[in-house]
Amino acid sequence: MKIAIAQINPTVGDIEGNCTRIINTATELARRVDLVVFPELSLVGYPPRDLLDRDWFVSRAADATTAIAKATRSMESCGVLFGAPVRDADCRGCLRNAAILAAGGQIVSVHAKSLLPSYDVFDEARYFDPAESVSTASFSGKVLGISVGEDAWTIPDLAQGRNIGSLDAIGESVANGAQLIVNISASPFEVGVDRTRYELMRAHVLKHRVPMVFVNQVGGNDDVLFDGRSMAFSADGHLLSIGGAFEEWIEIVDASANERRACFEPLDEVKSIHDALVMGIRDYVRKCGFSKVVVGVSGGIDSAVVCCLAAQALGPANVLGITNPSQYSSKGSVEDSQLLASRLGIHLEVIPIHSLYSAYLDVLSKHLDGIEDSVAAENIQARIRGNIWMAFSNQRGYLVLTAGNKSELAVGYCTLYGDMSGALAVLADVPKTIVYKLAEYINRERELIPRAILEKPPSAELRPGQLDQDTLPPYSILDEILRCYIEEGFSPEEIVARGFDGGTVSWVVRAVDRSEYKRRQAPPGLRVTSKAFGTGRRMPIAARHS
């Protein structure tokens, strides 16, 4: 049986566009294969979130599902397997997350998802009802065991803490005669997840001795990024094919083949983060209907990395850098910003803020005693800069990309309505120590980011001689404490038991907790770790818990 894996990048909500893409792709492949397989919810994009609460949206999806089925009439004997939301008439209108097999002008079978994830970025139990049984489908002389997403994450040692209960959708399909396992998925990217997926799918194959095809979504949808890396295995566990990362990919595989035709190589951590962020910027800007961005360029490493990522994602002509020197900005910061812009080929506007800052202080000093030497005065500078970036955004229709990293955002070392102003927080899930590794990766072939930017001590340059380390623990220590507290969920006591200073841990934990209100107002940040700020981390603001 020849199968075309169609690892596509759908746009959430664009039912008409996604439908057309599915039909056109399947039509092009129909003469060469028996089945074309698309990712989970590929008709509506993943995750559609509260669009699923709109009856008109679900009805449009149903109409498009019918249109795809009718289109298969002209595809000879080729079938199309795709993901869509489906109303179950037998369950008083229950909504299912389903895989739909269409061929010969009609819907052949519907296979609903049983395990509905409700952790991290997932909230499927809010919208869908679980399948009540596992079914197979007979097609093209084969019995297919068709499953959706989470239903394949049932190998206990690889389930990563998921509550899988007693369900074994893959095993039940094989027990019912499945000769080929097909799993359509929308499995998000995080560092290292590609290895887990590979081991998971191969474990199913080795357990049941049945070939398997896994088709995953690719692309960025808001803060959630999908890396693709679709796979096909022979019955003996040999890897027949593996899709590219962070790019659309179509491959034809023969499910009856039984020799290794591809080798699995796990994604490099830093390269995968780099490529994920480039894709995330490109898709966020494009899918929001924009083409150009603004980046505030400070002469520091964070904004330099964001400029490089944006230039690669969108092209240098579509990136505008703005540097806003104050009386506290070093000469080197301005020169480094200009050198960076020159090397990238982006346009840089130099707009000093000395006079604006002085005007603010003149007005506020009449009402706020001592403001000249306060943190409030430092933040005024950041807010002036943010206002300038937003003025360009409003006037020219550009999106503002913010450059704050995860370490800063975690402990609140950032200014609301200042450096946090913007439409997308590119590095919001990237710790400072990884930002430096990203910079070195960007410079791997030639020096785009000036060496001076990498070597200077980090500073917000909001007061004379200011350095990040005057306020924060060393980033190597801070980032590890943050990883333990945010990603691992350890208590302060458990973190101290791992050898960290108790006073430092206490300060970091308090800073994280009291900065929750800031993060609630931050722009969406691209997710690359197992626990990003935003939709995947839902903490109370007015609370006492640490």
Q: Please check whether residue 519 lies inside any domain of the structure.
A: no
Q: Per-residue pLDDT averaged across 442-450, rounded?
A: 97
Residues 358 and 230 in one domain: no
Asked whether residue 396 carries a pLDDT value surpassing 70, the answer given is yes
Asked whether residue 390 carries a pLDDT value surpassing 90, the answer given is yes
Where residue 414 sits, what CATH number does that domain have? 3.40.50.620
Residues 168 and 231 in one domain: yes
Q: Per-residue pLDDT averaged across 506-522, rounded?
A: 96
Residues 433 and 292 in one domain: yes
- How far is 102 from 86, CA to CA, in rounded Å? 14
pLDDT tens, 16-59?
Answer: 999 999 999 999 999 999 999 999 999 999 999 999 999 999 99
Asked whether residue 15 carries a pLDDT value surpassing 70, the answer given is yes
Which tokens is 282 given? Answer: 């490109």
- How far is 153 from 113, CA to CA, in rounded Å? 12
Q: Is 373 exposed, middle or buried (0-12, 13-18, 19+ CB in 10 A)?
A: exposed
Tell me, what's the pLDDT at 352? Answer: 96
Residues 248 and 297 in one domain: no
Where residue 102 sits, what CATH number does that domain have? 3.60.110.10
Q: Please check whether residue 532 lies inside any domain of the structure.
A: no
Residue where a domain terminates, one of 412, 435, 464 = 464
Q: What count of residues does the chain have?
A: 546
List the single range of 96-100, 168-172, 328-332 with lowest mean pLDDT. Answer: 328-332
Asked whether residue 380 carries a pLDDT value surpassing 80, the answer given is yes
Residue where a domain terminates, one of 464, 482, 497 = 464
- How, if at all, do strands 136-139 and 142-148 pair? antiparallel
Q: Per-residue pLDDT averaged across 432-448, rounded?
A: 97
Residues 211 and 82 in one domain: yes
Residues 34 and 179 in one domain: yes
Residues 314 and 446 in one domain: yes
Q: Please check whether residue 544 lies inside any domain of the structure.
A: no
Our count of domains for the chain comes to: 2
Q: Is 77 exposed, middle or buried (0-12, 13-18, 19+ CB in 10 A)?
A: middle
Tell me, what's the pLDDT at 466? Answer: 72
Q: Please check whether residue 495 lies inside any domain of the structure.
A: no
Which has the higher per-residue pLDDT, 157 or 455?
A: 455
Q: Please check whether residue 539 lies inside any domain of the structure.
A: no
Tell me, what's the pLDDT at 544? Answer: 83
Tell me, what's the pLDDT at 327? Answer: 86
**Nearest CA among 136, 152, 146, 166 for reference residue 198:** 152
Q: Please check whether residue 499 lies inside any domain of the structure.
A: no
Q: Domain containing 310: what range?
A: 273-464
Contact 208, 171 (CB under 8 A): yes
Asked whether residue 462 carries a pLDDT value surpassing 80, the answer given is no
Residues 249 and 355 in one domain: no
- How, if at all, do strands 79-88 and 35-37 pair? parallel
> In sequence order, which residues have a C-beta less than 8 Å from that of residue 438 and are 6 or more positions away?
270, 273, 274, 305, 430
Residues 281 and 245 in one domain: no
Asked whether residue 263 carries a pLDDT value surpassing 80, the answer given is yes
Q: Per-residue pLDDT averaged across 373-388, rounded?
A: 94
Asked whether residue 161 carries a pLDDT value surpassing 70, the answer given is no
Q: Per-residue pLDDT averaged across 347-358, rounded?
A: 96
Asked whether residue 503 carries a pLDDT value surpassing 80, the answer given is yes
Residues 125 and 254 in one domain: yes
Q: Per-residue pLDDT averaged across 56-75, rounded?
A: 98
Residues 16 and 148 in one domain: yes
pLDDT tens, 516-546?
Answer: 999 999 999 999 999 999 988 889 999 887 7
Instruction: Report the largest interatomic distance among the alpha carbons of the chain, rounded to a whole angstrom.
Output: 84
Residue where a domain terminates, one of 240, 262, 284 = 262
Q: Per-residue pLDDT averaged across 12-17, rounded?
A: 98
pLDDT tens, 215-224?
Answer: 999 999 999 9
* pTM above threshold 0.75: yes
Tell me, what's the pLDDT at 467? Answer: 74
Q: Per-residue pLDDT averaged across 449-460, rounded?
A: 87
- How far is 368 from 546, CA to CA, in rounded Å? 34
Q: Please check whether residue 429 lies inside any domain of the structure.
A: yes
Q: Per-residue pLDDT averaged across 4-18, rounded?
A: 98
Tell me, what's the pLDDT at 329? Answer: 80
Residues 148 and 109 in one domain: yes
pLDDT tens, 277-287?
Answer: 999 999 999 99
3-state helix, strand, coil in the chain (%, to 5): 40, 20, 40
Q: Please check whether residue 518 lies inside any domain of the structure.
A: no
